[in-house]
Amino acid sequence: MILGMKKRPIEIGDLYKLVYLGDPQMSPDHQLISFTKKVVTKKHKYETQICTYSLKSKEIKQWTQGDKGNGMGRWSPDGKKLAFISGRDGGKAQIYLLAVDGGEASQLTHFPEGSLGGFKWSPDGTKMAVVFRETEKAFTEEAKKKRESEGGATPPLEIDTEWYREDGDGYFGNQRFRLYLVDAVSGEHSLLHKGSALGDYTFSWHPNGKELVVGFGEGKHPLRAPANDQFHRIKLDGTATKISDQPKGGKWGPQVSPDGKWLAYIGNVDETDGWGTRNSRIFLTSIDGGAPTCLTTDDIDFASGTLGDTKEPGAEFNLFWMPDGKSLISAFAKHGEEQIAQVGIDGKVKVLTKGDHVLIPGNLANDGSSIPVIYHSFEGPGELAMVHLKSGAINHLTDLNHDWKQSVEIAIPEAIWVDSTDGAKVQAWVVKPLGFKAGKKHAAILEIHGGPHAQYGKTFFHEFQVLAAQGYVVVFSNPRGSKGYGEEFCRAIFRSWGEKDWQDVQAVRDWMKAQTFIDKARLGVMGGSYGGYMTNWVIGHCHDFAGAITDRCVSNFVSMSGSSDYPLNPNGYFGGIAYGDLEDIKELWRQSPIAYFKGVKTPTLVIHSVGDLRCNIEQSEQVFYALKMQNVPSRFVRYPVETSHGLSRSGPPDLRMHRLNEIVTWWSKWLKG
């Protein structure tokens, strides 16, 4: 920025000017940190490249080229190679190798058309364990071209299981991810394990390099039963031995101790808690079997995430052994922050970092001295940083968004706490508009997050900044059901959506109405996913808002029970049975916003993606129908089948811009008119 240049308001088109960083990985010699850098091209495409930051020279080097996607850079144990996944081979994702001393990337694997779910080097660097799912033969590009040349029709997808689709992954039918072993020199692959009914593998190499510890859901039909993830020791010849005496429930991110004797993992022993209302804790068990010990008895969740529209996806379960085998390092979320903690095998938890930030860790340095992170804050998009574990100090390494940040006015959110019912306190933040004047009353928008078991927090939210630049006060909060405030706070809405959470939303609404700088006649409410659910609930239960926007919403749990990629278990998280009699349906209908839509008056914009497999578009179709039949001013924007539930965060850039334009236009009509 030129000295003296006036800063401008943030615009919708700034999506094309931001640099998004993710997946930091320290090299074995502690000299380089690899990371992904994503930008938007003029052709409305994301271009992701793998770069490195030199801790010695402070230089950034881009290692990959092209627009076919490059990601998941992982260092070989000797540090001489960097493996990564790319779709440059005619769109077929494969693993490639880059030599640190220079040269072009070479293709290692030659899997058939399909999806790569991840990989890990063996300790000696001679092999890789790879998760891969082959595409149904009838739906490969080769089969498609043959049909087109012969004038044939698209074949049907033949399905024999309730698990045949996933949002963002599409329809895969009966195909499953399987665990393969890959020779790190020849690239030849061999099947190691195919026993998981869902293909939900999570694994860790044993330090001896002769076996892996692999976790997956037990049984032929895991989606019909309570959660029961189990760990198995699998030798390189495929021989599997189950680790005995492990409780039921979800288990993720296994890590074998440096001496090979212990297994640590993040888990939830409540087998009925498929949606994560319980805190995920760190457990320790002998690799030879035996009842595990829970190391984290404090009220901290080690698997919660912070929402944002400029964050790259981070590892959901971060767990690393310190070299001496006496403690582990992990990240946790609390009060809108994400910090790094050290958990001793004696159960002592020490929080290592503090500050107004969200830290997304990569891997742990070999000597246990530090961990690279993507540092997120209210001040701008995430940048590469280093956390020094002994002192807790954070060393900021990159500032790739510097010029952009210097050119725009960023509105920093202010934290508040709002009293709700039952003594609950709700954390919220207020973003005041550019040109804010204390004596003036401003229109205000209440944003409600998705999940619901996640949190809003200290990340840069482009959408909020755009609205503040348009002159609105933006309020966002973490009502009951959110993570980061203890298990009781999160579990308060178990089998009772629309009760305690609604009470907290009302408390925040009432706070807004009481502020002298907010015009209570010009309030808007909006949200996506669960936020769309709660927006629907709000307009069905009050008329305090001049307008609403419901995005990728939930409206009817009876129909959603079978239309979501994760079907609702009978008498599960929500209670009730969708296909039963009226008594069975009662609980699902009681928690459905559409049940309260008679008399809705709030003008509402409905946004949804046809390709959304999490919250099927029929949920919004029901909302739009009910609005139109009651002559409520409404508009329905349907994004194409190529988009998914995550349109607002990772969808096509031009469609993300279109969505924001629709939002700004709607608020201009109903809050400024």
Catalytic residues: 529, 645
Distance from C-alpha of 486 to C-alpha of 491, rounded to nearest angstrom: 9
Alpha-carbon torsion (643, 648, 653, 658), positive or negative: positive
Angle at 542 between CA 538 and CA 544, to 5 degrees: 100
Half-sphere exposure of 430 (CA within 13 A, CB side): 18
**Side chain identity, residue 658:** H
Integer angstrom CA distances of residue 281 from 237, 301, 318: 33, 6, 12
* Angle of CA points 484, 488, 492, to nearest 5°: 100
Compute, in degrees rounded to 10, the torsion defined by CA atoms 485, 340, 447, 313. Answer: -130
- 594 secondary structure, DSSP code: G
Residue 517: DSSP 8-state: T
In sequence order, what are the beta bridge partners of 107?
Answer: 96
Nearest-angstrom CA–CA distance, 159 and 406: 54
Residue 32 to residue 28: CA distance in whole angstroms: 8
Compute φ and ψ for 619, nearest 5 degrees: -65, -40
Whole-angstrom distance, CA of residue 115 vs CA of residue 69: 13
Q: Which residues of 566-575 are buried (b: 16+ CB within 10 A; e: fewer)?
A: ebbbeebbbb
> In this structure, what token pair is assigned to residue 182?
């890959």
One-letter amino acid of 216? F
Residue reference for tokens 């469609």: 655
d(CA 360, CA 372): 9
- Region label for 503, one of left (φ > 0), alpha (ψ between -120 and 50) or beta (otherwise): alpha
Q: What is the DSSP letter of 111?
A: -
CA distance 289 to 241: 10
Neighbours of 78 (CB within 10 A): 12
